[in-house]
Amino acid sequence: MTDAPSERTPGGRLPIDRRVREGLRAAIVPVAACTLALTGLTAWTSAGAAGSPPQIAAGNGRVILPDGSGRDTAAFFDITNIGGADDQLTEVTSSGVEKTLLSRRESSGLGADLVRAAGPVRVPAGGTVTMSPFDLSVTTRTKETRWQAGDMVPFVLHFRYSAPVELMAVVVRPGS
């Protein structure tokens, strides 16, 4: 676009009102984009979705009574996150057992399942992780003391972002 010579001032410059209009026209797209982004973030924050940390609760702890003279068994928990952000179960410890390991059971396709160490377990915002003998569990090795059905064993669940959760697991017979 060429400017007509009559629109320029004697020094060859555009009139000030035209320079202001063109400057405003160039600025309107970035200003509109920023306004739209700020409006969206304000709505997200007002709805309580922004900055809401994970809130972890755990319960229904149970540990399988080892069979015979064996000391290896598994523990299971239900973990709920009522917060607005995901968290991760990173470790499970217990003063009542010799060893703990987060593990996951996988089908080998050959008739026998494999139990492998599991990395951190995602606990989704607003979701629940339910451990079971068929998927995710805590593999444990008992101390020398023998358990009886109904005994209580202390556990501590450790998370990436949330405080540790202490809970008790009841010793149950296999299949119960």
For the chain, what are the domain ranges?
Answer: 5-46, 56-172
Q: How far apart are CA 145 and CA 97, in angstroms?
A: 9
- In the chain, pLDDT over 70 holds for what percent of residues? 86
Cα dihedral: 22, 28, 29, 30 (round 10): 110
- Confidence band (pLDDT; 50, 70, 90) for 143? confident
pLDDT at res. 49? 56
Q: Domain 56-172: give its CATH superfamily.
A: PCu(A)C copper chaperone (2.60.40.1890)
pLDDT at res. 26? 80
Tens-place pLDDT, residues 64-120 = 999 878 889 999 999 999 998 999 999 999 999 999 999 998 877 776 777 788 889
Q: How far apart are CA 66 and CA 145, in angstroms?
A: 12
Q: How far apart are CA 106 and CA 32, in angstroms?
A: 52
